Amino acid sequence: MDFQLTDEQRELQGIARRFARSELPALARKLEETDEPLPLTMRKRFAEMGFLGINLPEVFGGMGLGHLEALLVLEQFAMISPAVAWPVFESATGPVRTLHHYGSESLKQRFIPAVVRGEKVLAVSMSEPAAGTALTDLMTSGRFEGNEIVLNGQKRWCSGAGHSDAYIVYCRLSDAPGAKAIGAVIVEKERNGVSFGRPERLMGFRGIPSADIFFDGVRVPRDNLIVPAGNFSKLMSAFGLERCGNATMSLGIAAAALEDAIAYAQERRQFGKSIVDFQAVQLKIADMAMRVEAARLLIYRAAANAAQGLPSVIESSIAKCFANEMVRDVAINGMQIMGGYGYSREYPMEQRVRDSFAWGIAGGTTDVQKTNITAALIGRRFNQRS
């Protein structure tokens, strides 16, 4: 068991770190103020550097590396802000990976190379007004008519809504009960009958558009089907990698908060000495560092054990849940160390605190992760309905 990164992994990590720190901080602050997504020009820069295809096969224009390499890059971008890291998250761990694992070859060829080139953005559309954690309660439907699928319904909390070019829409594709009817279809933004609600105003997560999506008799080719009805478990298995991406976003925020707190504690002087010389500050920094390192190891384990496949439910859930809870504590401690400066919007710490709370809600709440963990340990799923 080797806990050291390879020379190639360290080189990739260094490239991502230098790029993120030299080109993204000012842009990240602008996106935070305007709540606008990453501009196309910068997304194309990501593509030129290979950041949008790290763990995607070379046949689609990717680098063909492993999930761990993708997460190493994602962490460096997330240390700047979730908004600038979002395209890497979506391509390396999000809906693009679902398409890669389960889509037809023609469907993959239509979308994945364009994502890798920075020309298209793909988002996932799952939750509904009455179906969040209880996802099998969703009502959006897809009806087969000849060579087309006709969709009707409403989605909520779709990150990328209105901005992304296409959406992986979870929907009911048969009359079977519960999960047996659920599959997934790709719907392009420009299809007739697709419309969007007003942009959500969120506590954090700024620069990552979120809104309702409405499907009113939307027709897509049958070839847009990714997963047919009866394969809900496949869709959920793809979330093992998304959980690792979510955990890495938490890790990046926490690692940046720790870095800022350490720098500030050495610069700030009170009572004639740097505040890092006070034991109370030392204990906070040590606690922050322990939690960051523990989260990093849990994420790395899940990714390394998956190799090119999908991380296990238990390892990805443990990594996500721990990282989601860790980042909140670390960011708040960072704010406390910085005092008034940590609370000021002139400095990034207050944004890190706001952003830290998003990840334990998105992609499955921390409580759901804990039920997943227990179910995996016991060897059976728990019926939450009875």
Structure tokens at 152: 């009707």
The CATH number that domain 123-234 falls under is 2.40.110.10
The predicted pLDDT at position 343 comes to 97
Residues of the chain with CATH 1.20.140.10: 238-378
Confidence at 132, pLDDT banded by 50, 70, 90: confident
Residues of the chain with CATH 1.10.540.10: 7-120
Kindly state the percentage of the chain with pLDDT values over 90.
89
If you average pLDDT over residues 71-98, what whole number do you get? 97
If you average pLDDT over residues 63-79, what whole number do you get? 97
The predicted pLDDT at position 199 comes to 94
The predicted pLDDT at position 270 comes to 96
If you average pLDDT over residues 272-283, what whole number do you get? 98
Give the pLDDT confidence of 203-227 residue by residue, as tens digits.
999 999 999 999 999 999 999 999 9
The predicted pLDDT at position 133 comes to 86
123 burial class (0-12, 13-18, 19+ CB within 10 angstroms)?
Answer: buried
Chain mean position to CA 60: 21
Number of other CB atoms surrounding residue 383 within 10 Å: 6
Give the pLDDT confidence of 297-344 residue by residue, as tens digits.
999 999 999 877 889 999 999 999 999 999 999 999 999 999 999 999
pLDDT of 233 higher than 80: yes
The predicted pLDDT at position 383 comes to 79
Chain mean position to CA 366: 15
The predicted pLDDT at position 2 comes to 79
CA–CA dist 220, 24 (Å, integer): 37
The predicted pLDDT at position 117 comes to 98
The predicted pLDDT at position 181 comes to 95
If you average pLDDT over residues 43-60, what whole number do you get? 97
pLDDT of 294 higher than 80: yes
Confidence at 381, pLDDT banded by 50, 70, 90: confident
182-188 vs 141-145, strand pairing mode: unpaired
Among the residue ranges 104-108, 150-154, 175-179, 255-259, the one predicted with the least confidence is 175-179
pLDDT of 162 higher than 90: yes
Residues of the chain with CATH 2.40.110.10: 123-234
The predicted pLDDT at position 141 comes to 97
Confidence at 125, pLDDT banded by 50, 70, 90: very high
CA–CA dist 351, 329 (Å, integer): 14
Among the residue ranges 120-124, 306-310, 357-361, the one predicted with the least confidence is 306-310
The predicted pLDDT at position 49 comes to 97
Among the residue ranges 210-214, 260-264, 290-294, 376-380, the one predicted with the least confidence is 376-380
pLDDT of 105 higher than 90: yes
Q: Answer yes or no: CATH 1.20.140.10 is held by domain 238-378.
A: yes
Assigned CATH class of 7-120? mainly alpha
- Using CA atoms, how far residue 120 sits from 4, 41, 167, 223, in Å, is 35, 12, 11, 19
Q: Average per-residue pLDDT in the chain?
A: 95
If you average pLDDT over residues 148-172, what whole number do you get? 96
